[in-house]
Structure 1
Amino acid sequence: MSGLEDQIKEIEDEIQRTSYNKATSKHIGRLKAKVAKMREEAVQRAMKSAGGGEGYSVKKSGDGTVVLVGFPSVGKSTLLNRLTGKDSEVGAYAFTTLTVVPGVLEHKGAKIQVLDIPGLIAGAAMGKGRGKEVIAVVRSADLILILGDVYNGRHVDVLMKELYDAGIRINKPKPDITIKKAANGGIRLNYVGEEALEIDEVRSILAENKTTNADVLVRGNVSQDDFIDAMIGNRIYVPAFVAINKVDLVDEAMRNEVREEVVERFGDEPYMISAHSGYNIEALKDAIYENLGFMRVYMKPLGGPADLEEPLIVRSGSTIEDVCNRLHREFVEKFKYAKIWGKSVKHDAQRVGLQHTLADEDIVTIVTRF
């Protein structure tokens, strides 16, 4: 273990030994902020020593991008081939994939880019095992599929830690925290909603970033860790779920043992699959689609029939304006009104404006000024 990793572990051990209460919250906050800064500096040094932080050159395509994250030899390449038909090299040894291999999964009208990346190992966030390049790709993903296997369920914990240390926050909304540095006046803290942190905690955390004057606005209930993430400022918030591969190689008792282990550590049920045999792969495709938050919108030209064969794939919560921007930027500039048939309106052919929120399988006609 390097000297820096030793220092980080010592501080983390002290945090673990210290009971959190009002009297210790300021001290714990400062220790957590110190560790976060040390990790961030270590990651940046690792990137520079490895020749920059750009990572592999991967052009994003399709309606969304999912990255397969796992230890070497868990079956990522086999799964890519099963999902997409891509001929990725497969071998029964570690590090078969030495670069990023893209494929396209077509499901429910969506074209989803699937990236098979080299396996992560412990210490990847600090640059070990091509960690710098791999982490850069993961940070650009719309969805992370964490892949383990039935023989190494505990590896999910290691992967989660590496992602966390690399500044990737999974299945978590970005905290609504604004920190604006000021020339003077000290730390001024304002809340909208519950006051979860004391001013002394905030001052202590910001002091580790050499910030002594700032206007801070917090909306909603946040933790010290949330505030530290906002202070560091480069965190990525990405949805993710777990799949456990090679379930065809063990009996039901072992499957259940691994499944329960993952639920205990991750909080959600993993998808139990076999990339080799195809077991549960259709359910996995559905999970990828749903976790990307997709919905289908069918376009209907004015006076013509709706195109029910090729839907426009958009994210849940999309508006008419979002659809116009997907079609052509001039649609917003020349927009007059839209007509909707579907769940998002009270009656068919209802006229709506740009800010109308769509629902899955809505039929849409865009009317523009000529």
Structure 2
Amino acid sequence: MTLEEEIRAIQEEMDKTQKNKATEHHMGRLKAKMARLKDELIKKAIASRGGGAEGYSVKKSGDATVTLVGFPSVGKSTLINKLTDAHSEVGSYDFTTLDVIPGIMEYKQARIQVLDLPGLVKGASSGRGRGREVISVIRGCDLIVLIIDVFNYQHMKVLEDELYDAGIRINQRPPDVTITKLVKGGITITSTVELSIDHETIKTVLGEYRMHNALVNIREDITADQLIDVVRGNRVYIPCITVVNKIDLVDKEHMKSFPKDALKISADMESGLDALRDEIYDSLGFINIYLKPQGEPADMDEPLIMRAGCTVGDVCDRLHKDFRRKFRYARVWGDSAKHAGQRVGVDHGLEDGDVLTVIIQK
């Protein structure tokens, strides 16, 4: 039986299995086996194309990277041309874009790299239509913009499924679970909350991946699917915006069928693009850090644009490749400091509006 046949057989069994507490253990085993087989299918597809050469060559630039993801001919090329300084060929036929087209969108002092990718198709996660190359670029981005044609909103589910099968979790955060492998002692499970998933299901999922000795610490209620994600360890968690394009071609009554949180635009007519720029900027979680040279006033006119959750070390990496190596200490003024001018190290977390002085070895 081929991998594809095994996956189909498991899916059929899952579909016909009634979901309740009595079948939770069985469903957990099926889900774990399904995930393992899908990972093997992806590895097989990569190997058949020459091993590790699975991605486009894309050099990151700017303060963050955004990818435009959608089926062929949904208007990605038109959109990137309107948002950035890029020029991506526009045509009314499928697969106009055959490579990754980068552009820079300058907005609110941030320089945001936007990537126009070849259209994603059903089966992309297992390699169809250069899908693995496209997926590899998406996995490395900071924000996904899913673009749906106004006449084909059903494509949304297909795109979400392809991203999910490729290990990309949109608008989610990693489960608060740690698994420590042990040499012996079996499976020990500790939790700080009441769990919906039972211990036997947890052990079954781990057993599917040949983990028979481990300490599992769970700090939030999780599903079997989330546990599988933790075990696999190759999932990425990326924020996502949904955009419905070509709204100029339909009436207001047609638009009522779309969710309220989806942005409605017409890239061709440049309608709704300001709202999209705002949404992209806000979703990336930018903060302003003001640099203060030692003994001089801070530069309050041109902040350094960083991402929420950044540290002093991240700022050092942005300023110069040698700053982290030569770092002595830093001083911080602002919300992240206990007092004005607090002396901190590279691991100190920064907040929006902080003023920072970095002292390095001469």
TM over 0.5: yes
Residue 41 of structure 2 aligns with which residue? 42
How far off is 1:13 after superposition?
Answer: 3.4
**Per-residue CA distance 1:225-245 (angstroms, 9 max, x = gap):** 011112222111111111111
Q: Would you say 1:68 and 2:68 are equivalent positions?
A: yes
Q: Within 1, Cα distance between the matches of 2:318 and 2:326? A: 13
**Per-residue CA distance 1:302-354 (angstroms, 9 max, x = gap):** 443433343211111334443344334546855445242x555688x553534
1:245-324 to 2 correspondences below 5 Å: 245-257=245-257, 259-260=258-259, 269-324=261-316
Please report the RMSD computed on the Cα atoms of aligned residues, expressed in angstroms. Answer: 2.4
Q: Would you say 1:338 and 2:337 are equivalent positions?
A: no
**Per-residue CA distance 1:286-312 (angstroms, 9 max, x = gap):** 111111111111223244343334321
Give the secondary-structure state (helix, strand or coil) at the position aligned to 1:24.
Answer: helix
- The structure-2 alpha-carbon separation of the partners of 1:187 and 1:367, relative to structure 1 and needing over 3 Å to count, comes to closer
Residue 170 of structure 1 aligns with which residue? 170
Q: Would you say 1:29 and 2:28 are equivalent positions?
A: yes
Give the secondary-structure state (helix, strand or coil) at the position aligned to 1:69.
Answer: strand
Percent of matched pairs sharing the same residue:
48
Contact 2:327/2:358 (<8 A) preserved: no
Q: Within 2, Cα distance between the matches of 1:319 and 1:136? A: 27
Could you tell me which amino acid in structure 2 is paired with residue 144 of structure 1?
I
Tell me which moved more, 155-164 or 55-64: 55-64
Could you tell me which amino acid in structure 2 is paired with residue 30 of structure 1?
R
Q: Within 2, Cα distance between the matches of 1:161 and 1:334? A: 45
Give the secondary-structure state (helix, strand or coil) at the position aligned to 1:169.
Answer: strand
TM-score (normalizing by structure 2):
0.90
Give the secondary-structure state (helix, strand or coil) at the position aligned to 2:288.
Answer: strand
Q: Within 2, Cα distance between the matches of 1:225 and 1:183? A: 26
How far off is 1:134 after superposition?
Answer: 0.7
Q: Within 2, Cα distance between the matches of 1:218 and 1:124? A: 33
Q: Within 2, Cα distance between the matches of 1:196 and 1:312? A: 44
**Per-residue CA distance 1:152-197 (angstroms, 9 max, x = gap):** 1111110000000111111111123333333433222222333343
Runs of 4+, deviation exceeding 6 Å: none
TM-score (normalizing by structure 1):
0.89
1:155-194 to 2 correspondences below 5 Å: 155-194=155-194
Could you tell me which amino acid in structure 2 is paired with residue 318 of structure 1?
C
**Structure 2 segments unaligned to the other structure (5+ residues):** none
How far off is 1:99 after superposition?
Answer: 0.8
Contact 1:324/1:332 (<8 A) preserved: no
**Per-residue CA distance 1:217-262 (angstroms, 9 max, x = gap):** 22222211011112222111111111111111211111222x23xx
Tell me which moved more, 129-138 or 175-184: 175-184
Q: Within 2, Cα distance between the matches of 1:120 and 1:41? A: 21
1:63-102 to 2 correspondences below 5 Å: 63-102=63-102
Q: Would you say 1:351 and 2:329 are equivalent positions?
A: no
**Per-residue CA distance 1:138-162 (angstroms, 9 max, x = gap):** 1111111111121111111100000
Q: Within 1, Cα distance between the matches of 2:166 and 2:32? A: 15
Tell me which moved more, 57-66 or 115-124: 57-66
Q: Within 1, Cα distance between the matches of 2:22 and 2:125? A: 33
Tell me which moved more, 89-98 or 132-141: 132-141
Give the secondary-structure state (helix, strand or coil) at the position aligned to 2:122.
Answer: coil
Give the secondary-structure state (helix, strand or coil) at the position aligned to 2:22.
Answer: coil
Residue 124 of structure 1 aligns with which residue? 124
Give the secondary-structure state (helix, strand or coil) at the position aligned to 1:122.
Answer: coil
